[in-house]
């Protein structure tokens, strides 16, 4: 990891540790105040606890032009992104996406859509719904490894993260606490419950929390929808297409709508926020990821709406291309932040329990 970024974050953390004004803002400060000195791993852990709400920046009396020149959200954002890059497996892939996220995302979607369109030309002899265009076996053969291999790459990265931050023994209750904290997004309340200062300088807003929640719960509902379809197919012999009141549709349609709303909102907030309070170099890569997630949900909903029409022939390859790109880029794009954040929250819970 880049030592100059760690050094700068350490300098700022030491000032904060003496000041302690932002004590109740988020989980970063209690974790910071538990230490007198910060190892490189401590700084990486603090950086992954921070979610860049910017509350501490607008409350701080030591920002420029003060000689301390505090900008903790930026210092932690730069360490955080550098840690994901350094810990990514295989190495180098994450850096590639940071530099040219939009081009890589768009290029992969187009290339995969083209491949799926060609595969569609060799239609199966039998099948209903989407399976009339592409066989179930072919879809499973492509998407099962595309789903499992990125998860394996993330597991390697998280193991390295745990070693790097000096991870302690965790229990199921630590994981439960981390899940509760992530699910409620308590840290996005800014400590006082009024929200954060992400998009509108020192005005508090809950917009980012609500759009984040829509994205998270929308994504989980879509995942549950796909999982329920798999259980119906293999467990009960009930094959797609499923009716509007089936479990996959009852979970998938609201999930897709929430995901569209959440990602569109997050992209809009990102255009309003000051890039100099984050990591400006990777702004494009982050935006590309949010737009990719929006494209996954929007094309999925369009495809559902087009069921039974000729539009399925061109919407299906586009949707499958966006989903495949999303899966493959997960360990190297902003999507990885959810996994690192869960690891950081688990480590935080384990440290507090041990203390
Ligand atoms: S960000 Fe500024 S006000 Fe907040 S704890 Fe650090 S030095 Fe103090
Ligand atoms: S930017 Fe927000 S989350 Fe990050 S340290 Fe400051 S108050 Fe905490």
Nearest protein Cα to ligand 1, atom 3: 60
Return the residue matching tokens 């995969």.
Answer: 112
Residue with more model confidence, 296 or 119: 296
The CA 268 to ligand 2 mean position distance, Å, reads 21
The CA 50 to ligand 1 mean position distance, Å, reads 14
Report the length, in residues, of the chain: 355
* 94 pLDDT above the threshold of 80: no
Residue with more model confidence, 215 or 200: 215
* Ligand 1: nearest atom to the Cα of 72: 1
In testing the pocket of ligand 2, which one of 49, 56, 74 has its CB within 8 Å of the most ligand atoms? 56
For residue 243, the model assigns a pLDDT of 86
* Ligand 1: nearest atom to the Cα of 19: 8
* Ligand 1: nearest atom to the Cα of 29: 5
Q: Is 264 close to ligand 1, i.e. is its CB under 6 Å away? A: no
Q: Is 32 close to ligand 1, i.e. is its CB under 6 Å away? A: no
The CA 271 to ligand 2 mean position distance, Å, reads 20
Nearest protein Cα to ligand 2, atom 6: 56
> If pLDDT is split at 50, 70 and 90, which confidence band does 125 have?
low
The string of pLDDT tens digits covering residues 218-232 is 999 999 999 999 999
Closest ligand to 15 CA? 1
> If pLDDT is split at 50, 70 and 90, which confidence band does 239 have?
confident
Nearest protein Cα to ligand 2, atom 3: 50
Measured CA to CA in angstroms, residue 291 lies from 276, 285, 287, 295, 342 at distances of: 21, 10, 6, 6, 23
Closest ligand to 59 CA? 1
Residue with more model confidence, 65 or 187: 65
Closest ligand to 27 CA? 2
* Ligand 2: nearest atom to the Cα of 22: 7
The CA 60 to ligand 1 mean position distance, Å, reads 5
DSSP characters over 211-280: HHHHHHHHHHHHHHHHHHHHHHHHHH--PSPPPTTSHHHHHHHHHHHHHHHHHHHHHHHHHHS-GGGS-G
Residue 119: which H helix or E strand, with range?
helix 93-121
* Ligand 1: nearest atom to the Cα of 25: 4
- Rounded CA-CA distance 282/41 in Å is 22
Name the DSSP letter for residue 205: B
Nearest protein Cα to ligand 1, atom 5: 16
The string of pLDDT tens digits covering residues 52-89 is 999 999 999 999 999 999 999 999 999 999 999 999 98
For residue 261, the model assigns a pLDDT of 98
Nearest protein Cα to ligand 2, atom 4: 50
Q: Give the alpha-carbon dihedral of 305, 309, 311, 317, to 10 degrees.
A: 80
């Amino acid at each position: 990891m880049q030592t100059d970024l760690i050094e700068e974050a350490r300098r700022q953390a030491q000032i904060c540790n003496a000041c302690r004004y932002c004590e109740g803002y988020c989980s970063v400060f209690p974790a910071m105040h538990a230490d007198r000195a910060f190892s490189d791993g401590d700084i990486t852990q603090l950086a992954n606890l921070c979610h860049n709400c910017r509350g501490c920046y607008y409350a701080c009396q030591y920002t420029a032009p003060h000689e301390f020149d505090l900008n903790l959200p930026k210092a932690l954002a730069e360490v955080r992104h550098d840690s994901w890059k350094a810990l990514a497996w295989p190495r180098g892939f994450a850096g590639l996406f940071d530099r040219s996220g939009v081009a890589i995302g768009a290029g992969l979607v187009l290339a995969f859509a083209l491949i799926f369109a060609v595969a569609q030309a060799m239609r199966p002899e039998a099948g209903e719904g989407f399976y009339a265009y592409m066989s179930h076996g072919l879809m499973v053969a492509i998407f099962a490894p595309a789903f499992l291999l990125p998860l394996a790459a993330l597991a390697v990265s998280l193991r390295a993260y745990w070693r790097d931050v000096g991870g302690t023994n965790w229990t199921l209750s630590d994981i439960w606490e981390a899940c509760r904290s992530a699910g409620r997004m308590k840290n996005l309340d800014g400590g006082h419950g009024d929200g954060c200062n992400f998009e509108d300088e020192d005005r508090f807003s809950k917009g980012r929390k609500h759009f984040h929640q829509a994205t998270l719960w929308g994504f989980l509902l879509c995942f549950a929808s796909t999982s329920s379809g798999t259980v119906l197919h293999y467990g009960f012999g009930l094959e797609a297409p499923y009716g509007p009141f089936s479990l996959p549709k009852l979970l998938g349609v609201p999930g897709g709508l929430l995901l569209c709303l959440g990602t569109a909102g997050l992209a809009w907030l990102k255009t309003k926020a000051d890039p100099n309070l984050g990591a400006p170099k990777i702004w494009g890569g982050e935006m590309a990821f949010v737009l990719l997630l929006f494209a996954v949900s929007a094309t999925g909903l369009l495809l559902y709406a087009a069921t039974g029409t000729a539009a399925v022939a061109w919407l299906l390859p586009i949707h499958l291309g966006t989903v495949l790109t999303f899966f493959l880029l997960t360990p190297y794009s902003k999507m990885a932040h959810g996994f690192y954040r869960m690891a950081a929250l688990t480590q935080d819970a384990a440290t507090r329990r041990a203390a």
